[in-house]
Amino acid sequence: MAYDSNNIFAKILRGEAPAFKVFEDEFSLAFMDVMPQIDGHTLVIPKDDAETILDVDPQILGKTAQTVQTVGAAVQAAFASPGFMVAQLNGSAAGQTVSHLHFHIMPRYEGLEFKMHAREMADFALLETHAQRIRTELS
């Protein structure tokens, strides 16, 4: 299957769609999920036309993994969570809803359940507040 350059993450990378960015370098971009499963739900995407983890250039994947590690620590600190989860889905059968490789970073707390994935848009002012908390931890 050919990469769909009109997916929302490709549009974000090209600056054609807005995003609440928390981190960016030459290989990857991290931003708030607009339909979060929990406060602090952050996405990391490679700057590569890859639909799944099997399609990405290995060097870019390695650099993107470093971003996941860095941003994951910042999310954990910003939301005072005892842990965080990293999820990565490949293909619609696995639950992937945007056909661009992406990693979900979600703070975890004992006894606190997630909301359903990709169901409800969050308040944009709240997302900007959450993004600022993470950017503060990164600085």
Low-confidence ranges of the chain (pLDDT < 50): none
Q: What is the pLDDT of residues 24-42, one digit of tens each?
A: 999 999 999 999 999 999 9
Pick the CATH number of 8-138 from 3.40.50.300, 3.30.428.10, 3.40.120.10, 3.30.565.10: 3.30.428.10
Residues belonging to the active site: 102
Give pTM, 2 decimals.
Answer: 0.94
Domain range summary for the chain, segments of one domain joined by +: 8-138
Categorise residue 95: left if φ over 0, alpha if ψ from -120 to 50, beta otherwise. left
**What pLDDT is recorded for position 139?**
95
Contact present, 67 and 134 (Cβ < 8 Å): no
What tokens appear for 41 in the block?
A: 């739900």
